[in-house]
Structure 1
Amino acid sequence: MPSSESILSVFLFVLVGFLPTPSSARKRHVINFRSPGLYPEGLTWDPSGNHFIVGSLHHRTIHSVSDAGVVQTLISDPDLPENATILGLAIDSARGRLLAVIHSAPPLPSFNALAAYDLHRSGDGGRRIFLSPLPTIPGEGRDVANDVTVDFRGNAYVTNSGKNFIWKVDREGGASIFSRSPLFTSQPMTAERDAVYADCGLNGIVYVSRGYLLVVQSNTGKMFRVEEDEGRARVVGVKGELTAADGMALRGDGVVMVVSQEKVWFVKSDDSWSGGVVYEEREVERDGMATAVVTAGEEERVYVLYGRVTEGMTGNQSREWFGIEEVWTEEEGVWLYVLLGLALAYFGFWRFQMKRLITHLDKKTL
């Protein structure tokens, strides 16, 4: 009669052989898409169209990218300044709008605006709802409209990476300066700051439904909480610095993802963002020059955009292929160990019951 140890070995072999693993259940989603000279910096997810949306460095166009890498032009707006860059993107799902930050970089004349387009009529070149120039403040430096988020009322908030303040654009297109907190200009720059981001201040921004914004600053590595009613700001006490932080995304469970050209930080808070902790980091492909991070689909999978913008800013227009890639975390494999633990517990219970049964049969035989 086989020993219980032999039975255990066979059982575990069969169990492990049939249990799904992260690699066998599904592969990490990698999308390579072709669009010559695009160099996209902004990325968002459109749940109504079930596709990603990317901007462009010089083309005055906005494109959808399917999960298979099929690219279609959603918006082509010849009224934008020639060679204008389309940076941050956000979906206003409640009103069926796509919000896009427009910026003209040197040596072009300064231009900063927020455009809103009708998502339901994007196939015919895109019906523009408004194009709102963003007001400036006299002083040194150049305005750089960068990223955008939207609240449940349809108000948009746009970061100014050059002069370190936040604009607000209401749903009718009325633009104003929303927050000029002195905290934005009083933080020490990070000693290890990336030279590319030395002059880049406020950058990625997300809206939290409890009534405030979270925004990161590239050249200081700081995160701020900004109240939506008055624009008051305070520094979020995140342990460590988010060096050269760029885009942000907010997951349904409250976790914030922040991307740089080297890694994605997963940050959480248990005190409404008075403080925060980086509980996981994932490296990204530095050559891809990641600038944006989003969550996509019902499972809220995390993706980064490899738009190689820095390469495009040097005047290179020859690249044809770009990428959107899923970022896996340690959470992806946790469920496997849970299942294995449950299986072992079940086997232990089965073995105990079998032993009792055999003992009972032996007594009857005697």
Structure 2
Amino acid sequence: MAPIKPSAIFFFFFFFFQLFLSLTLARKPHQIDFRSPNLYPEGLVWDSSAQHFIVGSLHHRTLVSVSDAGVAENLIHDPDLPENVSILGLAIDSINNRLLAAVHAAAPLPEFNALAAYDLRSRRRISLTSLPSSNSNRRPVANGIAVDFKGNAFVTNSAENFIWKVDKHGSASIFSKSASYSSHPITANEVYSSSGLNGAVYVSKGYLLVVQSNTGKMYKVDADDGTARLVLLNEDLKGADGIAMRRDGVVLVVSYRKLWFLKSQDSWGEGVVYDGIDLDEEKFATAVAVGGEGRVYVLNGYVKEGLNGNLGRERFGIEEMRLSRSWILEFRICPPNSFSTDPPCITAMVINSYGNYRTWTMHSDHSYYL
């Protein structure tokens, strides 16, 4: 057996040293603490044009902007909304420069469910669309919002398990009312047991991904005709509330107990939960958003306190989420062959602490790339 050359030893050592640095020397997660007395925010979005977050409120007719430094400012106050309504789900319609908000009045207030649309530049309300009832015995709850490239908004009804559609001009209809939404067992005796369809996100291929809190299921909903199919997952997402999608196709789902990272290879006929982060239940996370540079943030709105009538909290949080470890998924040595002029190399595929897939390749001439 031929002896190993010193240059080869250096090559392998240097490769693993660089890989080790890439996995371990990362900045601390970004923690944003902000003050807004009695806000108890439930919804969260990132406004990339203004470079700030926007949150709603369980008790106020106000939308609040939050900077990276934790500076909270009243962005929009809408006195035309009924007093003490909740502003729940939020979405940014970037093409039409609109902020969309799901507005709901909980008992004992008179029934009220609407989609409010605001101009992000002028901050003036464009429209307030009442969402039609299905004439059932249950009081509807307008909750999650997704918006497509045409300006159509899709709003989940968490109480009655259907989805409204509101077009760009403010015309509303019941859009998706699939029997599949009511065909799975409900988790009993949980804070989310009465909450059905919840967070929703639009996928550019023409469908929605919608999570259901009390069953832990995810549905793929056609954005044209409203037909729904169950997404087959390797585990249920119990208590699922908010949902977001990164540019690399990774879907993020949050409950007050956990943040899940999911990926699919077949446009969400099936999906896999490939990692997760346990959360502080007291903070009661309800929403997840993708901020600048693809960073993942959850909203710590202490919503359970607000639902229980607590009005004493002044500070809330938006917390960056990163996996506590990195995984090397694949490692291989690529020797030269007669068909290639490239030098020998080593390749490693890694999931880093952000949940991103990265590939390291280093050649024996000591050149490497990501």
TM-score range, shorter chain: 0.7 to 0.9
Q: How does 1:242-261 map to 2 (within 5 A)?
A: 242-261=237-256
Q: Secondary structure at the match of 2:155?
A: strand
User: Which residue of structure 1 lines up, in the alignment, with residue 261 of structure 2?
Assistant: 266
> Residue 179 in 1 paired to residue 176 in 2?
yes
- Aligned twin of 2:140: 143
SS of alignment partner, residue 352 of structure 2: helix
Assess, with a 3 A threshold, how the Cα gap between structure 1 residues 21 and 32 changes in structure 2: closer, same or farther: farther
- After TM superposition, the structure 1 = structure 2 runs for residues 87-98 of structure 1, keeping only pairs within 5 Å, are 87-98=88-99
Give the distance between the partners of 1:306 and 1:132, measured in 2 at CA: 29
The CA distance in 2 between the partners of 1:22 and 1:130, in whole Å, is 48
* Equivalent-residue separation in structure 1 for 2:154 and 2:73 (angstroms): 27
Please give the alpha-carbon distance, in whole angstroms, between the structure 2 residues aligned to 1:99 and 1:194: 32
Verify the 8 A CA contact 1:194 1:244 in the aligned structure 2: no
Partner amino acid, structure 2, of 1:303: Y
Q: Which has more helix, going by share of residues?
A: 1
TM-score scaled by structure 2?
0.84
**Cα shift readout 1:19-63 (whole Å, capped 9, x = no counterpart):** 856675422111011111100000000000000000011110001
Q: State the alpha-carbon separation in 2 of the partners of residues 285 and 152 from structure 1.
A: 35
CA separation in 1, counterparts of 2:316 and 2:137?
A: 35
Determine helix, strand or coil for the equivalent of 1:120. coil
5+ residue gaps in structure 2? 327-350
1:309, CA displacement in angstroms? 0.7
Shift of 1:142: 1.2
Aligned 1:126-165 pairs, distance under 5 A: 127-165=124-162
SS at match of 1:238: coil
Paired residues for 1:84-233 under 5 Å: 84-122=85-123, 127-190=124-187, 195-233=190-228
Report % sequence identity. Answer: 57
Distance 1:16 1:267, change over 3 A: closer
Structure 2 SS opposite 1:318: coil
Q: Deviations 1:215-250 (Å, cap 9, x if unpaired)?
A: 010001111111111111111111111111100001
Match in the other structure for 1:361? none
Give the CA deviation at 1:152.
0.1
Residue 37 of structure 1 is matched in structure 2 by 38
Comparing both structures, which one devotes a greater share of its residues to strand?
2
Aligned to 2:308: 314
Correspondence for 1:303: 297
Deviation at 1:12, TM superposition (A): 7.0
Counterparts of residues 5-24 of structure 1 (less than 5 Å): 24=25
Q: Residue type matched to 1:275 in 2?
A: E
* TM-fit CA distance, 1:140: 2.2
- RMSD in angstroms over aligned alpha carbons? 2.9
- Opposite residue 103 of structure 1, the aligned amino acid is H
| One-letter amino acid matched to 1:146 | N
Query: CA offset at residue 96 of structure 1?
Result: 0.7
Per-residue CA distance 1:146-172 (angstroms, 9 max, x = gap): 010100000000000000000000001
The 2-side partners of 1:270 and 1:22 are apart by: 25
1:333-355 C-alpha deviation (Å, 9 max, x unpaired): 599x977x859x668xxxxxxxx
Amino acid aligned to 1:181: S
Cα distance change on mapping 1:108 and 1:251 into 2, 3 Å? same
Aligned counterparts of 1:52 and 1:223: Cα–Cα separation in 2: 26
Specify the alignment match of 1:357 in structure 2.
none
User: Aligned pair count?
Assistant: 338
Q: Secondary structure at the match of 2:232?
A: strand
Q: 1:45 and 1:169 mapped to 2: Cα distance?
A: 22
- Offset from partner CA, 1:131-188 (integer Å, 9 cap, x none): 0010001122110000101000000000000000000000011111000111111111
Superposition map of 1:60-71 within 5 A: 60-71=61-72
1:184 counterpart SS class: helix
How far apart in 2 are the matches of 1:278 and 1:338?
21
Distance 1:317 1:22, change over 3 A: farther
* Residue 102 of structure 1: how far off its partner (Å): 0.2
Q: Per the alignment, in what secondary structure is the counterpart of residue 134 of structure 2? A: coil
